[in-house]
Amino acid sequence: MDLPSSLRFEIVTPERAVVREAVDEVQIPGGEGYFGVLPGHTPLLASLQVGELWFRQGDERFYI
């Protein structure tokens, strides 16, 4: 089975979608600490904690 080369990343608030991008990697501050998500990961719905969140597209990181 071939793994996808990117994953669909969305951050949604009650007011609007903050991010909707195809990305290569995500680092997320979750309730149990930071965790990373790569293409092929099981679909995930998680609550976030205060902290630094970033996603990577190619060689570039974007911080939120």
Domain boundaries, given as residue ranges, for the chain: 24-53
Is 37 in contact with 28 (CB distance < 8 Å)?
A: yes
What is the structure's pLDDT at 56? 97
Buried/exposed code over 17-41 (b: 16+ C-beta within 10 A; e: otherwise): eeeeeebbbbbbeeeeeeeebeeee
The set of residues, in sequence order, having a beta carbon less than 8 Å from that of 33 and lying 6+ positions away, is none
What is the structure's pLDDT at 16? 96
What is the structure's pLDDT at 42? 86
Is 9 in contact with 45 (CB distance < 8 Å)?
A: no
What is the structure's pLDDT at 3? 80
Q: What is the pLDDT along the chain (64 residues), one digit of tens a residue?
A: 788 899 999 989 999 999 999 999 999 999 889 999 999 988 888 888 999 999 999 999 999 8
